Chains A and B, each alone.
Chain A
Amino acid sequence: MSASSEEVLLVVKKVRQKKQDGTLYLMAERIAWGPDGKDRFTVSHLYADIRCQKISPDGKAKIQLQLVLHTGESTTFHFASESNALRDRDATKELLQQLLPKFKKKANKELEEKNRMLQEDPVLFQLYKDLVVSQVISAEEFWANRLSMNTLDHPLSGSKQEVGISAAFLADIRPQTDGCNGLRYNLTADIIESIFRTYPAVKQKYAENVPHNLTEKEFWTRFFQSHYFHRDRISTGLQDLFSECAKQDEKGLKTMVVQGVKNPLVNLLSLEDKSLDEGYGAAVAPSTSNTNKVKENSNSAIIKRFNHHSAMVLAAGLRKQDADQASETSSVDGNSRDSDYFKPPIKKVKLQEAIEYEDLERENRQKTVTLNLKKSDRYFHGPVPVQSQNYTTSQDIINSVNYIQQEMANYKPSLIQVISSSSASSAIAALSPGGVLMHAGVQQAINQMVPLDVQAELKHLYMAAGELLRHFWSCFPVNTPFLEEKLVKMRSNLERFQLTKLCPFQEKVQHQHLSINLTGHLEEMLQMAYNKFHAWQNRHMLRKT
C-alpha cells in the first residue's frame, strides 16, 4: 500500500500514535498513519467507518485528536510538533470536518435498513431463515424487490426524523460590536438552514443571486441590513433585495388568514351568534379612519411578525408531512366532495371532546379510533371495474316483484308428481347426521387433528412457497433477458424447495399417520408454476427456432 497511488490531501508530520512517532496522511477516501521510517501504514480507516472526531480542549498540554469508529473503537493521534501542533491539529480537524459528512450518509445505510426490517418483522425473518439460510435462494435475490417495495410503502420509515427548528434561531445571531463601529453576526450552517427552512422566500432569493450576482458573504450582509430582518424599523422605502420577500410573507399570511381555521371552536369570526347592528351598543366602534394609521405603526408590525414567525417555524417542522398531504389531496382534487364529506366530523369530534368529562365516565369505555380514509368512495364501493352496466331500474324491480307475486298467487302444487314416500324418507335419512351424504359434516375440524408443530411448520412452508412463487410470477411477462434468466433460476429454486423442504415435510406427516393431505394445495400451486414455465419454455423454443 503506497501512498502514491491515491490522492493525498494532507500530510502532517510528527504525529504520535501509541507513543510512536509517525506521519498522518489524509487521502481521498481514508485516513492513514504510518510510523516514521517504515513504508506501510499501521493505522488506516475509511472515512465511511468513522463516526466522529473529538479534539482535546484548548488549554490541555497534549494536543490530541480522537477518531471514533462505528464499531466503537477509537484511535487517538497526538500532535507532537512543538511549534505548530495546534495549527496542524486544526488543519486536520477542518479537513475531516469537510470530508466526514460526505461519507457518513452512504455508510452502511442499506445494511442497517435490512437489519431493521428483519428485526421488526418476525415473519420476514422466518422467511429469510427458510429461504436464504437454507440456501434456496441467494440473499441478493431475496432482497432484490423487498427493499424497493419497502421504500415505496413507507417513504418516511427509512428517513431519519428531522430536527425541528429552534424558535429563537434569529436570536442566536445576536450581533456583537467588534469595537470599531462594526457589527459581527455569527452565522452557522445550522442557522442558515433554519432561515431557509423557515423562510423559503429567502432561500429562493439566495438561489437566484448567489453566487452569480453576489457572494455568499454579501448576501448575508444585505440580509442583516434589510428592513426585512429588522421588521420593527420603519421601512425606509429603499428597494432592497428582500422587500419582495416581505411582500411574499404578507401574502402568505393573508392566504393563511383567508383559508380560515379548521377547528370551529377557535374560529372567532363565527363565535358571536347575532352581533349588534352597526350603530347599536354601548361601546364605541372604532372609526375606521384612525385605525388605519395605527395599524401602520411599528408595534403592530412587531406583533404581526411574531405571529408570522411562529407560524412559519411551526410550519417548517411540519412541511415535510404537508408536502405529502398536498400531493395526496391534489390527486384527490378531482372529487372535492371528499373534503366536504369529512368536514362535519371535525366539528363533531371537537364538540364531543369539549363536553367530555373523563373522570365521570366509567373506565371501560372504549376509545374508538376514527377511520382515516383518503378516498371514501373506495371504502364504500371497493374497486369496481369500469363497464357499461345494465342497471336494474326501480321499475324493473317493481315489475319482477309483481311478477313473482303473481306466480306465487297462481302456484298450484301438482300433487301427483311428487316422489314416493319411501324414497322421500330414504333421502331424509341420507341427509340426516350419520347418513350417507353427511360424512363431510362430521369431519373434525382440521386444526384439532393436526398437532401444533406441524401446523406451524406448514405455515412456514406456505410463507416460503408464497415468497418463491411471488418471485416466480413477478417474472412474467418475460420481456428481458434478465427476466428470462431469473425465471429459469426461480424454477430451479422452486424445484429445490420442493425437494429440500416439501418432501421431507410430507414424509414427516406420513410418519405421524395423518390421513389428510396437507400439502395438496402447495403441490398444486407449484405444479401450476411448472406448467406455466413449460408453456413458456415451449413457446420460447419455438420462437428461437
Chain B
Amino acid sequence: MKLNIEGLLVYFPYDYIYPEQYSYMLELKRTLDAKGHGVLEMPSGTGKTISLLSLIVAYQRAFPLEVTKLIYCSRTVPEIEKVVEELRKLMEFYAKETGEESSFLALALSSRKNLCVHPEVSSLRFGKEVDGKCHSLTASYIRAQRHSNPSVPTCHFYEGFDALGRQVPIPSGIYNLDDLKAFGRSKGWCPYYLARYSILHANIVVYSYHYLLDPKIADLVSKELAKKSVVVFDEAHNIDNVCIDSMSVNITRRTLDRSQANMETLQSTIQKIKETDAAKLKEEYSRLVEGLKEANVARETDVYLSNPVLPDEILQEAVPGSIRTAEHFVGFMKRFLEYLKSRLRIQHVVQESAPQFLKDIFEKVCIDRKPLRFCAERLRSLLRTLEIADIADFSPITLISNFATLVSTYSRGFTIIIEPFEDKTPTIANPVLHFSCMDPSIAIKPVFERFQSVIITSGTLSPLDIYPRILDFRPVTMASFTMTLARTCLCPLIVGRGNDQVAISSKFETREDFAVIRNYGNLLLELSAIVPDGIVAFFTSYVYMENIVASWYEQGILENIQRNKLIFIETPDAAETSMALEKYQEACENGRGAILLSVARGKVSEGIDFVHHYGRAVVMFGVPYVYTQSRILKARLEYLRDQFQIRENDFLTFDAMRHAAQCVGRAIRGKTDYGLMVFADKRYARADKRGKLPRWIQEHISDGSLNLTIDETVQLSKHFLRQMAQPFRREDQLGLSLLTLDQLQSEEMLERIAQIAHQV
C-alpha cells in the first residue's frame, strides 16, 4: 500500500498495516525532519524493520540531497541477512508499483569469514585465521613481491577486483552476503573488498555494530561514509556494552610472555634487514621524521593494525624521536613490557586511574606519556616495513601497543584494575590487568557527532530516558509504542510463591534453598503438562542452572518432566548448544514438544528467536542480575553515579530487567503468535522492577497476576492457552490491530494512532 506520512509518499510492501507501524513511521519522519537523533521502542515482532526501511527509503527518494545514505547496524549475521531480505521485498514492491527499475544499491557487509570465496581461505573455520590468511595473500608488499617473483602466491579474486572492480561500479540492486559471493565468483572479484569499496557509494549499507563502534575497525571501514547519513542501531538494548567492550583491554601474564616472544622475533628481523636492506629502515625513519601519514593508496588490504583510539584523538604530529628508529622502539617496548610484568607481580588488588598509572610508569621506568601515545602507530609502521607475513602471530604485541596508546590518550572514563587471582580460586595465581572502559559514550560520541540522524531502536529499551544519559546525547524524539491487540496474545504472569506458600526468588540468600529449587521444578513440571510444543526457560547464570539441574535430577523432577517433553540444555560450548537448539526445534516441529533450559545473557537469549510453536511459554527463573561482586562492574557503577547521577541500584535493576525483557520477548513475533511469559521471582512484583519492563509487557500485567502461586499460574495459563487455541481470523483483527488503507485514513483511527506513541 501507499501511505501518506505527513506529506511523504511511503511505499509499504504489504496490503495491511499495524497501527503502531504507522505511528512509528510518523515519529521516525519527525526525527529525520529535525535532523536529530531518536530513541524508539517498539514491541518485538510488530514489523519494526520494515517500517524503518520503508520510511527511510521513501525519505531518501523524496529528498536525495538531505539523506544520502542509510547505515543500518544490527547485531548478528542472521539479523543482518534478515534486514537485507526485507529490503529486497520492499524494493520488489517499488519495482512492481512504479514499473521502473530502481537505481538503488543496497548491500550487506560482513567479515571476511562470511564473504571470502577463495577456495583455500574460505575453508578455514575461524574468523581470525581467515583474516590472517587473506592478509598473507593480499598485503601490499606481498603483491609487490609478486612483481619480481611470480611464484609468490596471491589471491586472484583480489587481483581481479584490484584490476577492474573499482572502475565499474557494482550494478544497482540488493546484495545479501550470498549475492555478493555469487557476484564475486561470476566476476572473479573479491566480494569482501568489493563490498568494502561499494559501501562508499551504496544507498543502504547493512552491517554489524563493530564497523561503526569499534574504533579499530571503524577507522578502516567506515571513515569515508557520508555525513548526511542516517544511522540506525537495531536491537540496541545492549549498545552500551558493545561500546565498552570495544575500548577495553585485558592483559594476562600469558599475553606478556607472548609479546616478549614477539619482540624477540621483531628484533631478529630488524637485525636481518639491517644486514641486507638497511635502506628500508632509513627510509622508514625519514618518513617518521617528516610525520608523513602514509599515503592511503593501495593500503586497504593492510587493515590489520589500526589505531585503537577515536579519529579525533589521533595526534597530527610526527612520531617522537625516542621511538623513531626501529631499535629504539623495540627497546622502548621491552621496557614497557618489563614494567607491566612487574605490575602483575602483586599479591593484592590494585585499582588506579590512567593518570596515576602514567605517573607511576614515569617514576619507575622513565617512560613518557607522549611516546606511549604513538605506540600503536609506530608498531604499525614497523610491521609494515619489516613485511611481516603472518600478522595473527603478532596480536599480543598489538594488544600491548593499543593499551599503551589508549591509556595515554584518555585520562577520564577508564580505570585500571590489577587482580592477582580469580575470586573463586584465591590460591592459584593468575594475575590480570584490566584496562576497563566505563563510559560507553566515548566510543559512540563520534557517531553522534558525525552523522545527522542516529536512531536507536529495539523491542526492549525501557526505561527510555536512561539511554540518552549513559550514551550522552540529546535525542529529538524518544517514544515507546504499545502493541495494539485484538486478542491479548501475551500473558505475563508473576509467580511469587510455591503451592506451599514459600516465596520463590533467586536472590542470593534463598537461591540454594531446597524449597525454592523444588518449587521452581514444580512450576516447570506443571507447565510442561499444559503448554503445547516448546517451552524455553532462562536461568540467571550458568552456574545456577547447573546446580538446579543437578538437584532436579536428584529429586526426580526432570524425569517427570521428561514424561511430557524432551529436555535440552544450553552448555558453554557453542557448537553443542547449536545442536541442542536444532534438536529442540525438531522436537517442537514434529509435535513431541520440548523444553530448552538456557541462560539469560547467554548466546541463546541474545540471538535466537522462539517464534510460534518454538516458544509457547518462556519462564524466567529469577531476576538476571549481573554478577555484582566484580570489581570492574563496581568501578563502572561508581563512575555512573559520579558522572551521570545514576544510582547503582537503578542501573543494576535496569540492566537485569532489560535482559529479562529480552528473554521473554523472544517468544512473540507478530500478532498471530502467542506466548506465556512467566516471571518466576517474587521480586518482579515490586514497582521498581515491574516499572522497568517495556510498556507493551507492563500493560498486560494486571494486579491480579502479581503474586501467584504455582496452582494459580497453571489455572491462568490453561485459560489463556485455551483461548489462544481458538481460530484467529483476519476479520477479528481488522480495524483494531490491523488496518487497511481506508481504515487508516479515517479521522477516528488517526486519533487513536496518536495515542499509541508515548513520548518520554
Interface residues of A (CB under 8 A from B): 164, 166-168, 170-171, 174, 232, 253, 256-258, 260-285, 287, 289-291, 298-300, 302-304, 306-307, 310-311, 313-314, 317-318, 344, 347, 351-352, 354-355, 357-363
- Contacting B553 at CB < 8 Å: which of A273, A281, A302? A302
- Please tell me if the beta carbons of B89 and A355 are within 8 angstroms of each other in the complex: yes
- Bound Cα distance A423, B214 (Å): 89
- Contacting A171 at CB < 8 Å: which of B396, B562, B607? B562
- Please tell me if the beta carbons of A314 and B16 are within 8 angstroms of each other in the complex: no
B341 to chain A, nearest CB (A): 16
A309 to chain B, nearest CB (A): 8
- Bound Cα distance A9, B590 (Å): 46
- Please tell me if the beta carbons of A261 and B578 are within 8 angstroms of each other in the complex: yes
Given contacts A260-B578, A306-B567, A310-B583, 9 further A-B pairs with CB under 8 A are A263-B585, A280-B246, A282-B241, A287-B422, A307-B568, A307-B576, A310-B594, A355-B89, A357-B47
Q: Which residue in chain B gives the minimum CB-CB distance to A356?
A: B670
B549 contact set on A, CB distance < 8 A: 299, 302-303, 306
- Please tell me if the beta carbons of B575 and A257 are within 8 angstroms of each other in the complex: yes
B113 contact set on A, CB distance < 8 A: 270
A281 contact set on B, CB distance < 8 A: 245, 248, 250
- Contacting A359 at CB < 8 Å: which of B81, B210, B603, B730? B730
B608 at the interface (CB under 8 A from A): yes
Given contacts A168-B563, A271-B77, contact A359 B583 (CB under 8 A): no
- Please tell me if the beta carbons of A311 and B550 are within 8 angstroms of each other in the complex: no
Given contacts A266-B608, A274-B210, A362-B15, contact A284 B550 (CB under 8 A): no
Given contacts A290-B422, A354-B609, contact A262 B582 (CB under 8 A): yes
B222 at the interface (CB under 8 A from A): no
B422 contact set on A, CB distance < 8 A: 287, 290
- Bound Cα distance A144, B634 (Å): 84
A174 to chain B, nearest CB (A): 8
- Please tell me if the beta carbons of A261 and B579 are within 8 angstroms of each other in the complex: yes
Residue with the greatest number of chain B CB neighbours at <10 A, chosen from A232, A275, A302, A359:
A359
- Please tell me if the beta carbons of B571 and A303 are within 8 angstroms of each other in the complex: yes
B432 at the interface (CB under 8 A from A): yes
- Bound Cα distance A282, B631 (Å): 11
List 14 A-B residue pairs with CB atoms under 8 Å apart, sorted by A's residue number: A166-B562, A269-B574, A269-B578, A271-B607, A272-B77, A274-B214, A299-B547, A303-B546, A310-B567, A314-B590, A351-B82, A358-B670, A360-B18, A360-B738
Q: Which residue in chain B gives the minimum CB-CB distance to A278?
A: B395
0/1 string, B204-234, CB within 8 A of A gives 1: 0001101100100100000000000000000
A342 to chain B, nearest CB (A): 14
B578 contact set on A, CB distance < 8 A: 260-261, 266-269
Interface residues of B (CB under 8 A from A): 14-18, 47, 49-50, 75-78, 80-82, 85-86, 89, 110-111, 113-114, 127-128, 178, 207-208, 210-211, 214, 217, 241, 244-246, 248-252, 255, 395-396, 399, 422, 424-425, 428, 430, 432, 434, 436-437, 546-547, 549-550, 553-554, 556, 558-560, 562-563, 565-569, 571-583, 585-587, 590, 592, 594, 603-604, 607-609, 611, 632, 670-672, 730, 733, 738
B603 contact set on A, CB distance < 8 A: 268, 271
- Please tell me if the beta carbons of B583 and A314 are within 8 angstroms of each other in the complex: yes
- Bound Cα distance A171, B556 (Å): 8
A256 contact set on B, CB distance < 8 A: 579
- Bound Cα distance A267, B607 (Å): 10
A319 to chain B, nearest CB (A): 13
B75 contact set on A, CB distance < 8 A: 273
- Contacting B550 at CB < 8 Å: which of A302, A307, A357? A302
- Please tell me if the beta carbons of B563 and A279 are within 8 angstroms of each other in the complex: no
Given contacts A271-B603, A274-B210, A310-B568, contact A167 B563 (CB under 8 A): yes
- Bound Cα distance A276, B437 (Å): 15
- Please tell me if the beta carbons of A360 and B607 are within 8 angstroms of each other in the complex: no
- Please tell me if the beta carbons of A270 and B16 are within 8 angstroms of each other in the complex: no
- Contacting B396 at CB < 8 Å: which of A264, A268, A279, A311? A279
Total contacts A-B at CB 8 Å? 229
Q: Which residue in chain A gives the minimum CB-CB distance to B127?
A: A275
Q: Which residue in chain A gives the minimum CB-CB distance to B81?
A: A351
B226 to chain A, nearest CB (A): 23
Minimum-distance CB pairs A-B, first 3: A171-B559, A273-B208, A168-B562
B569 contact set on A, CB distance < 8 A: 303, 306-307
- Bound Cα distance A249, B80 (Å): 37
Given contacts A266-B582, A271-B78, A280-B249, contact A314 B566 (CB under 8 A): yes
A60 to chain B, nearest CB (A): 31
Q: Which residue in chain A gives the minimum CB-CB distance to B571?
A: A303
- Contacting B14 at CB < 8 Å: which of A258, A354, A361? A361
B476 to chain A, nearest CB (A): 29
- Please tell me if the beta carbons of B571 and A311 are within 8 angstroms of each other in the complex: no
- Please tell me if the beta carbons of A361 and B246 are within 8 angstroms of each other in the complex: no
A274 contact set on B, CB distance < 8 A: 110-111, 127, 208, 210-211, 214, 217
Residue with the greatest number of chain A CB neighbours at <10 A, chosen from B255, B566, B611:
B566
B211 contact set on A, CB distance < 8 A: 274
Given contacts A282-B241, A306-B567, A359-B16, contact A287 B430 (CB under 8 A): yes
A280 contact set on B, CB distance < 8 A: 245-246, 248-250, 399
A209 to chain B, nearest CB (A): 28
- Bound Cα distance A363, B75 (Å): 33
- Bound Cα distance A290, B543 (Å): 14
- Bound Cα distance A272, B78 (Å): 9
A272 contact set on B, CB distance < 8 A: 76-77
A147 to chain B, nearest CB (A): 31
B320 to chain A, nearest CB (A): 26
B80 contact set on A, CB distance < 8 A: 273
A344 contact set on B, CB distance < 8 A: 178
- Bound Cα distance A298, B581 (Å): 22
- Bound Cα distance A6, B425 (Å): 80
- Bound Cα distance A251, B642 (Å): 54
- Bound Cα distance A351, B425 (Å): 45
- Please tell me if the beta carbons of A273 and B583 are within 8 angstroms of each other in the complex: no
- Bound Cα distance A286, B47 (Å): 38
- Contacting A314 at CB < 8 Å: which of B255, B576, B587? B587
B126 to chain A, nearest CB (A): 9
Q: Which residue in chain B gives the minimum CB-CB distance to A257?
A: B575
- Contacting B566 at CB < 8 Å: which of A171, A269, A313, A318? A313
- Bound Cα distance A352, B82 (Å): 8
A283 contact set on B, CB distance < 8 A: 245
Q: Which residue in chain B gives the minimum CB-CB distance to A231?
A: B553
Given contacts A261-B579, A273-B76, A360-B16, contact A279 B250 (CB under 8 A): yes
B348 to chain A, nearest CB (A): 18
- Please tell me if the beta carbons of B566 and A167 are within 8 angstroms of each other in the complex: yes
Given contacts A271-B76, A352-B85, contact A279 B553 (CB under 8 A): no
Given contacts A263-B585, A358-B672, contact A270 B114 (CB under 8 A): yes
B672 contact set on A, CB distance < 8 A: 358-359
- Bound Cα distance A303, B563 (Å): 17
- Please tell me if the beta carbons of B571 and A307 are within 8 angstroms of each other in the complex: yes
Residue with the greatest number of chain A CB neighbours at <10 A, chosen from B208, B553, B580:
B580
- Contacting B568 at CB < 8 Å: which of A277, A306, A359, A362? A306
B430 contact set on A, CB distance < 8 A: 287, 289
Q: Which residue in chain B gives the minimum CB-CB distance to A166?
A: B563
- Please tell me if the beta carbons of A285 and B250 are within 8 angstroms of each other in the complex: yes
Given contacts A310-B594, A360-B16, A361-B14, contact A351 B85 (CB under 8 A): yes
- Please tell me if the beta carbons of B563 and A282 are within 8 angstroms of each other in the complex: no
- Bound Cα distance A271, B77 (Å): 5
A303 contact set on B, CB distance < 8 A: 546, 549, 569, 571
- Please tell me if the beta carbons of A264 and B47 are within 8 angstroms of each other in the complex: no
Q: Which residue in chain A gives the minimum CB-CB distance to B398?
A: A277
Given contacts A280-B250, A302-B553, A360-B16, contact A268 B241 (CB under 8 A): no
- Please tell me if the beta carbons of B77 and A270 are within 8 angstroms of each other in the complex: yes
B586 contact set on A, CB distance < 8 A: 314
- Bound Cα distance A279, B437 (Å): 13
